[in-house]
Amino acid sequence: MDPNFFTFLFFFFFLFFLLHRPISASNLHKFKQLNSDFLSQSKSSYDSLTPQSPTKYFEVTKPIELPKTKPCSYHVLHHDFGYTYGQPPVFANYTSPPHCSSTKFSKIVLEWKATCEGRQFDRIFGVWLGGVELLRSCTAEPRATGIVWSVEKDITRYHSLLFNHQQQNQTLAVFLGNIVDKTYTGVYHVDITINFYPFHVNTPKTKKFNPLAFTSDSHADLILPISRNLPLNDGLWFNIQNSTDVGLKEFSVPQNAYRAVLEVYVSFHENDEFWYSNPPNEYLSANNITNSPGNGPFREVLVTLDDKVVGSVWPFTVIYTGGVNPLLWRPITGIGSFDLPSYDIEITPFLGEILDGKNHLFGFKVTNALNVWYIDANLHLWLDSNSVRTEGVLVNHIDKPLVESIVSNFSGLNGTFLTSAKKSILSSGWVRSSFGNITTSFVQDFSYCSSMVMRKNGEKQTVNQIISFNDSIRVKLPSSHLDLVDDTNRNFSLYLDSDELDQDNDTYLAVSNVTLGFDVSKSKSEDSEFSKSFLSNVQDSQGKMVVKKNLVISGVGETQQDYRYESNEGCYFRKIGSSNYTILYDKVKNSCNKRSHYPFGLKIFNKFPIIL
Ligand SMILES: *[C@@H]1O[C@H](CO)[C@@H](O)[C@H](O)[C@H]1NC(C)=O
Ligand SMILES: *[C@@H]1O[C@H](CO)[C@@H](O)[C@H](O)[C@H]1NC(C)=O
Ligand SMILES: *[C@@H]1O[C@H](CO)[C@@H](O)[C@H](O)[C@H]1NC(C)=O
Ligand SMILES: *[C@@H]1O[C@H](CO)[C@@H](O)[C@H](O)[C@H]1NC(C)=O
Ligand SMILES: *[C@@H]1O[C@H](CO)[C@@H](O)[C@H](O)[C@H]1NC(C)=O
Ligand SMILES: *[C@@H]1O[C@H](CO)[C@@H](O)[C@H](O)[C@H]1NC(C)=O
Ligand SMILES: *[C@@H]1O[C@H](CO)[C@@H](O)[C@H](O)[C@H]1NC(C)=O
Ligand SMILES: *[C@@H]1O[C@H](CO)[C@@H](O)[C@H](O)[C@H]1NC(C)=O
Ligand SMILES: *[C@@H]1O[C@H](CO)[C@@H](O)[C@H](O)[C@H]1NC(C)=O
Ligand SMILES: *[C@@H]1O[C@H](CO)[C@@H](O)[C@H](O)[C@H]1NC(C)=O
Ligand SMILES: *[C@@H]1O[C@H](CO)[C@@H](O)[C@H](O)[C@H]1NC(C)=O
Ligand SMILES: *[C@@H]1O[C@H](CO)[C@@H](O)[C@H](O)[C@H]1NC(C)=O
């Protein structure tokens, strides 16, 4: 048996069931532990609210736009995930092309459907095809009467992988580390289906056909896995344990590549599950606290290529379904928890360095990391079918060092910590292919700002955090074309307030308020077409739990979510609210506001200069 497993159990049972209420930072973990037990036992005042049919959980997001065609469905896997911790992933054979009458598909959707009943924790899982990660997600926590949920993900961008003609049979791998015993009884019953939607005959071609890889509907010709090789008794992700740990993968690219994008998947667990609420080490050591995670509240994922930093990810603070207070995420789950975001890093400027046919190394590390971060990536490559060799040169690369500052002011367990960080990375380079000599530049700009306040001797913690994460791609095409511009501007925000109020008879009330959300604006210009979009997705949640002698005896959770998507191609709005498992209101609107006060003007782009 895996020794880590015992450490894990020992850690939780000792810390959370024997020790009484350490400081707030670890209360977050305690919340989770207490709740999942209580909620699925359903031997409490909560019983009256428990329905007899399974509860359906869901994540609020914009539905995938599907063509009006009948999909060809390929049921890839059914499995009951019982005791799977420390075992190999579950495998299925995937045969391409799938047996569909059509051969051209405009949309491909992966559907994960699962049911569970009993008592179980939130479990992280991943789905890989040929080592390429298709989905990173978290399970919903069951109830005694059962739950059901599904995740639909647009996987059209993995088209070349799904129709891999070199390798007819590929292995689909699913890792979901679950533990089933007398206490934690929930088995996850899972079906994975891939739906292939043929082109609609009358699909109006809105966009001009452009053979270049940089247009939005162009999918890679080849996708290489930057993940761990099988066999493994784990997911294919790298496990990053600390700030010096590096996950490394050797790879080589075909010598006729002319564009490369690295798609990075990230999730954080155990001591870093709530990294944004970890206090600085000096605070912990001054108070002789050794059993609570520290390293401060700032993290960044760095991606290296042969020891050069090629990009970074300052991740969105996904809260898993058991996080803070599980009642907040039922039935509306936390933003990103059922479909964790992946992050794209433009590698094209560096292509000149790796077109030599030799092996190169991608590396992943996490600044200030505590165990454990699960990271891997997919390298999307566009190949020049008209030539066997492309050539390129990295012209400029500036990796501005991280500027991080922490201002601490504390006395005993009370204190205020202000943390800020800034970084930018710039690269540019040219690649010459049969399409001509194309110069690409990629700039990432980050800023981070956090305020953490500890009051009531650490029993009350308030975190306010904003991450601003901007990417900008500029592509200078051969003469006749206009430059391509692709800008993404993201703000991730988090407000977390958790408090414990002592009551009579060894009882305390845990109160937590969470505001979690992001704003993303994208602007793109390609060959005289301009597009802009703005997405704002915010959840406000309030939860209360009464805990008596480490047993939750009652609880309430409420969530309000506001999802707003506006673009020059269409809009989608949804406002929804829930309280104690009941949906209170749910308003959906598919059309744009007539006199929409767009947070952006539909301005025409100028020709942008290339930053060299
Ligand atoms: C995949 O196919 C091979 C050969 O047909 C077979 O031996 C193997 O058992 C199959 N694997 C699974 C997981 O079904
Ligand atoms: C692929 O798998 C199918 C069924 O699992 C099998 O019939 C076929 O022979 C395999 N093809 C190759 C090339 O291995
Ligand atoms: C960091 O983690 C790696 C991998 O687990 C381990 O080998 C190394 O000793 C750790 N370093 C520190 C400073 O703890
Ligand atoms: C921490 O431990 C040291 C040594 O045992 C002791 O002198 C000090 O008073 C302790 N500080 C606190 C805040 O408990
Ligand atoms: C530190 O906190 C104390 C108590 O809140 C306050 O009186 C003091 O001015 C603060 N010091 C600084 C440098 O902010
Ligand atoms: C491609 O364009 C860049 C920038 O204009 C130039 O420096 C480079 O020499 C060109 N490469 C080739 C092979 O023409
Ligand atoms: C990101 O872009 C927005 C809008 O241009 C700007 O206000 C913000 O300061 C930028 N953030 C960073 C870190 O550069
Ligand atoms: C911490 O703050 C609380 C009020 O929030 C106060 O009662 C307590 O005395 C403070 N502790 C210290 C060590 O200053
Ligand atoms: C405290 O617990 C005792 C015994 O369980 C009970 O008789 C008493 O009413 C409780 N007091 C309060 C204030 O809940
Ligand atoms: C938490 O939410 C409740 C209900 O909306 C509100 O009354 C309370 O003031 C909030 N507390 C904090 C600290 O934000
Ligand atoms: C992010 O915040 C910055 C600074 O407040 C603002 O200028 C920018 O417009 C915001 N971006 C989005 C997408 O809301
Ligand atoms: C949820 O429970 C709380 C406390 O019992 C109650 O105030 C609230 O009205 C309940 N909400 C619904 C929708 O039943």
Which residues surround ligand 3 with Cβ inside 6 Å? 241-242, 244-245
Residue 263 in tokens: 């798609």
Q: Whose CA is nearest to atom 2 of ligand 7?
A: 489
Residue 569 buriedness (CB in 10 A; 0-12 / 13-18 / 19+): exposed
Which residues surround ligand 10 with Cβ inside 6 Å? 497, 513, 542
Q: How far is the first Cα of the chain from the last one, in angstroms, to the nearest whole number?
A: 54
Residue 467 in tokens: 């991450």
Rounded Cα distance between 253 and 251, Å, is: 7
Q: Among 21-25, 79-83, 447-451, where is mean pLDDT lowest? A: 21-25
Task: Encode pLDDT of 503-519 as tens digits.
Answer: 888 888 989 999 999 99
Q: Whose CA is nearest to atom 5 of ligand 9?
A: 505
Region of 21 on the Ramachandran plot (φ > 0 left; ψ -120 to 50 alpha; else beta)? left
- Assess if residue 584 is contained within a domain: no
Kindly provide the residue ranges of all beta strands, DSSP E only, lying in 118-160, ordered along the sequence. 124-129, 132-138, 147-154
Q: Among 10-19, 76-85, 92-101, 395-404, where is mean pLDDT lowest? A: 10-19
Pocket test for ligand 10, best of 461, 542, 544, 556 (most atoms within 8 A of CB): 542
Rounded Cα distance between 227 and 327, Å, is: 34
| Range 314-341 average pLDDT | 95
Which residues surround ligand 4 with Cβ inside 6 Å? 287-288
- The finding on whether 52 has its CB within 6 A of some atom of ligand 9 is no
Atom of ligand 4 at shortest range from CA of 287: 13
Mapped onto helix, strand or coil, the DSSP state of residue 281 is helix
- The finding on whether 556 has its CB within 6 A of some atom of ligand 12 is yes
Tell how far the Cα of 421 is from the centroid of ligand 8, in angstroms: 29
Are 483 and 608 contacting, i.e. CB atoms less than 8 angstroms apart? Answer: yes
311: Cβ contacts below 8 Å, ≥ 6 apart = 262, 264, 303, 345, 346, 347, 425, 442, 444
Grade residue 335 by pLDDT with cuts at 50, 70 and 90. Answer: very high
Tell how far the Cα of 55 is from the centroid of ligand 6, in angstroms: 60
Q: What are phi and psi of 334, to 5 degrees?
A: -65, 150
251: Cβ contacts below 8 Å, ≥ 6 apart = 224, 226, 359, 360, 361, 362, 379
The four Cα atoms 255, 478, 306, 162 give a dihedral, to 10 degrees, of -60
**Backbone CA torsion sign across 232, 235, 236, 240:** negative
- Assess if residue 149 is contained within a domain: yes
Task: Encode pLDDT of 379-417 as tens digits.
Answer: 999 999 999 999 999 999 999 999 999 999 999 999 999
7: Cβ contacts below 8 Å, ≥ 6 apart = none
| The one-letter amino acid at 502 | D
Specify the DSSP class assigned to residue 546: E
Atom of ligand 9 at shortest range from CA of 505: 1
Q: How many CA atoms lie within 13 A of 183 on its CB side?
A: 9
Residue 196 in tokens: 């292939």
- Assess if residue 331 is contained within a domain: yes
Residue 224 in tokens: 């290489």
> Taking the model in full, what pTM does it have?
0.90
Q: Whose CA is nearest to atom 11 of ligand 8?
A: 457
Rounded Cα distance between 243 and 221, Å, is: 35
- Assess if residue 552 is contained within a domain: no
Return the pLDDT at 10: 29
Return the pLDDT at 121: 86
Domain count, the chain: 1
Task: Encode pLDDT of 198-212 as tens digits.
Answer: 987 765 554 444 557
500: Cβ contacts below 8 Å, ≥ 6 apart = 21, 24, 27, 456, 459, 460, 508, 509, 510, 511
Kindly tell me if the per-residue pLDDT of 71 is higher than 90.
yes
- Assess if residue 542 is contained within a domain: no
Which residues surround ligand 6 with Cβ inside 6 Å? 430, 432, 437, 439
Most confidently modeled of 114-118, 142-146, 507-511?
Answer: 114-118
Domain of 196 in residue numbering reads as 3-201+214-509
Q: Whose CA is nearest to atom 1 of ligand 12?
A: 580
Atom of ligand 6 at shortest range from CA of 612: 4
Mean pLDDT over each residue of the chain, to the nearest integer: 87
Q: What are phi and psi of 66, to 5 degrees?
A: -110, 145
Tell how far the Cα of 534 is from the centroid of ligand 11, in angstroms: 11
